[in-house]
Amino acid sequence: MCSMILLSPMQAATEAGEVVADVVPLVWTGAQGMVGGILVAYFVSITYCWFLRRNITIKMPDGVPPNVATAFTALIPGAAIMTIAGVVFGIFYAFETTMIETIYNVIQTPLQGLSDTLPGILVVAFLIPFLWFFGVHGSSIVSGVMSPIALSNTAANQAIVDAQGIVTLENGGRIFTQQFLDNYVNMTGAGVTIGLVVYMLFWAKSTQFKTLGRLGGAPAVFNINEPITFGTPIVMNPLLAVPFFLTPMINSTLLYFGMSTGLLPLFTGVIAPWTTPPILSGLIIGGWRHAVFQAVLLVLAIAIYYVFARAADQMAYADELAAHEEHEVEAAEHEREQAELEALRREHVADAAGKPTDTEH
């Protein structure tokens, strides 16, 4: 926190245009300073851990209480961090700016602008299922990079609502927000796999798909689809990769045009937990229009997945039939062998019964 304050602007302009020094403008503790705050926290953490791993700390005698010793342990790393922050502040001060302002202007603003375009949104919508296809947790990786930007846009939209009562593209509103990412791109899980789940529940022929549908149906309602992703599997499955990639991209495109044309309202600061079921989440974050739109996208996902799911199901069903036939052949062969053994046993018993004993001789 100290490093963040030290690296932030320390002056602000009043409504009358007067510049006030030695203050912390609240604007840099909100959306504008979010990316800078994350980066500062990251470097402070790794610096602190670097000192602890190398035991570059003040050592206290064994008789000192642990809570007191811990306070002294942080002195050297803390002093080093503040010194580094002071040096960085001095460098940026020489150029009449601050590090947080520079991060906002050089990194955050371009990223916010890029992420709010249709190509930028499509890249995000594609990367998440693309990484999942290789077994990598795409949602965590992409969200780790994009969530700060999405949250900044969310906070910016709410600031516009607070100031003007409504947020639109005309007054600076953003389309790509955390709600866009959580409740649309990852609706029912990465790849919008509800289409596959519905097929499994109602139209599947193979035992594998029927079982997976029963297991994955309830989690999918809460946007959890690992049972489907790894159980089907979608991972490293070229056939199911097609709808897995396409569905979130189509959803994102339709949502983008819906919001850019004014058919759907922009999101404000209201965020539903990512586990909130579709339709309910739409109602929370954007009202009835978003709830209806989510319902339409769910139906669309079912239509997109149907052909590919049916082909995969038929392949699984054919494999099961082949395995069943092979099992029947093996069972028939086993029964034949058992019958032959039984015949030999009876023949042996009959021979033994007809052979004269030593007493008869």
360 in any annotated domain: no
269 in any annotated domain: yes
At 357, the pLDDT band (50, 70, 90 cuts) reads low
Q: What are the tens digits of pLDDT across the range 93-132? A: 888 888 888 888 887 777 767 778 899 899 999 999 999 9
In terms of domains, do 94 and 191 share one?
no
In terms of domains, do 146 and 226 share one?
yes
In terms of domains, do 100 and 152 share one?
no
44 in any annotated domain: yes
CA distance 263 to 322: 52
Pick from 52, 74, 109: which residue ends a domain? Answer: 109
In terms of domains, do 162 and 98 share one?
no
With 90 as the cut, is the pLDDT of residue 332 above it? Answer: no
Q: What are the tens digits of pLDDT across the range 33-66? A: 777 888 888 889 999 899 888 888 888 777 778 7
Greatest mean pLDDT among 292-306, 312-326, 344-358 lies in: 292-306
In terms of domains, do 217 and 286 share one?
yes
208 in any annotated domain: yes
In terms of domains, do 188 and 310 share one?
yes
Output Rg (C-alpha) for the chain, integer angstroms.
Answer: 32
In terms of domains, do 178 and 98 share one?
no
CA distance 118 to 218: 32
CA distance 251 to 255: 6
Q: What is the pLDDT of residue 289?
A: 95
In terms of domains, do 103 and 149 share one?
no
47 in any annotated domain: yes
Checking 278-286 for CB contacts under 8 A at 24+ apart, the result is 278/183, 278/187, 278/188, 278/194, 278/223, 281/179, 281/182, 281/183, 282/183, 285/179, 285/183, 286/179
210 in any annotated domain: yes
With 80 as the cut, is the pLDDT of residue 359 above it? Answer: no
Pick from 69, 93, 109: which residue ends a domain? Answer: 109
Pick from 109, 127, 156: which residue ends a domain? Answer: 109
In terms of domains, do 191 and 284 share one?
yes
In terms of domains, do 140 and 100 share one?
no
Residue 145 structural domain: 136-321
351 in any annotated domain: no
Q: What are the tens digits of pLDDT across the range 209-263? A: 999 999 999 999 999 999 999 999 999 999 999 999 999 999 999 999 999 999 9
In terms of domains, do 216 and 263 share one?
yes
342 in any annotated domain: no
Residues 27, 10 contacting (CB under 8 angstroms): no
In terms of domains, do 13 and 88 share one?
yes
Domain count, the chain: 2
